[in-house]
Structure 1
Amino acid sequence: MKAKMIEKPSFTIVGMKCDTTMEEKDKIIPKVVDEFHMKRMEEVEDRINAPNAYGVFVDPPNWDPETESFTWITAVEIESGGKVPEGMISKTIPAHTYAAVYYDPKTMTMNPYIDLHRWINEQGYTQIEGFGFEVHTSYEGANTPYTLHLPVQKG
């Protein structure tokens, strides 16, 4: 695994969201992602940094993945203050230090989430709870390669 630490400035995304549990995520998230990429993405004006697109997860405070839902946002980056189409949301992701790893489900057998969490701890960092995101440059359904980003702090 070739993980790395990166500094990323804040950025704003616009897209569609869903709330789901870990148990239901593999049924619910693909439907929302497909709808956004196949039908709604073209409604987003002021898009920047194409072809990058995002999958952002937002966990509630003290989240229990066994029993509680989390929010998934499928989105693209826009200029700050850009228009938000009806039925979509906007979110600003804060500037941060992120641990990042590339993952291609077609050729790699690792679990990027588990492996990146382990790597973060080995480097003497801790993950900041609450959110993280995937960035991809092409959408290929379940076979979409992405770079996973998890916010971290030293110690």
Structure 2
Amino acid sequence: MEAKIVKKSSFHVIGYHFVANLKEIEEQQLSKKTLERLQFHADKIPNKIGDHVYLIQVYPMKEGFHPYTDKFTQIIGYEVSNPGEVPEGGILHTVPNCTYVTTTHKGPEAEIYQTYDYLYGKWMVENRCMPLGYDFELWDERYNPDDMDNEIDLFIAINK
């Protein structure tokens, strides 16, 4: 698995969010339901840039945090060129200018934890980086969550 460090400018996302842990997300299919809601209301999001979707995960910066048992925020939305009107029940989130470690997960989404474990574990230690409390995934035309040819670009904010 090849990871690299990139700098990204800030961007805006309009979509929907929820707060849960991974156990709840999996059992209740929260990400899938939120994506379906977003796609249903896509025409109500002004200034949308393309059809790619961002999954943004914001974690509490606490000692011993574990995403399977501790709750965190997930935002699923479309990138927009200008923050405009937000659909009812929606949210506007600005991802700040930052440095990220990035790689592409290849394979079923159910196995993405292996990619996260590598980046947050081995890669962070070897490269002496600290995560800054959020990451995001880019779901574009390669996103086929149940297929072996699925690809998801991951970006983890770091202090490099």
Normalised by the length of structure 1, the TM-score is 0.85
For 1:148, which of 131, 146, 154 is the aligned residue? 154
- The amino acid of 1:14's aligned partner reads I
**Structure 1 residue 149 displacement after superposition:** 0.5
Aligned length, in residue pairs: 151
2-side partners of 1:123 and 1:149: how far apart? 15
Q: Residue type matched to 2:144 in 1?
A: E
Give distance in 1, aligned partners of 2:77 and 2:44: 12
**Which residue is equivalent to 1:113?**
116
Q: 1:98 aligns with which of 91, 100, 118?
A: 100
2:125 counterpart of 1:125? no
Which residue identity is paired with 1:93? V
Judged with a 3 Å threshold, the aligned counterparts in structure 2 of structure 1 residues 97 and 90 are, in CA distance, closer, same or farther, namely same
CA RMSD of aligned residues (A): 2.3
CA distance in 2: counterparts of 1:141 and 1:126, whole angstroms: 28
Q: Distance in 1 between matches of 2:144 and 2:43?
A: 17
Larger displacement relative to structure 2 (118-127 or 6-15) = 118-127
Q: Which residue of 1 aligns with 2:82?
A: 80
What aligned pairs does 1:29-44 form with structure 2 within 5 A after superposition? 29-37=31-39, 39-44=40-45
| Whole-angstrom CA distance in 1 between matches of 2:86 and 2:56 | 17
Separation in structure 2 between the aligned mates of residue 67 and residue 112 of structure 1, nearest angstrom: 19
Give 5+ residue unaligned stretches, structure 1: none
CA, structure 1 residues 127+61, in 2 after alignment: closer, same or farther (shift >3 Å)?
A: closer
Query: SS of the counterpart of 2:22?
Result: coil
Shift of 1:152: 0.7
TM-score of the superposed pair, with normalisation by structure 2: 0.83
Name which of structure 1's ranges 116-125 and 88-97 shifts more when overlaid on structure 2: 116-125
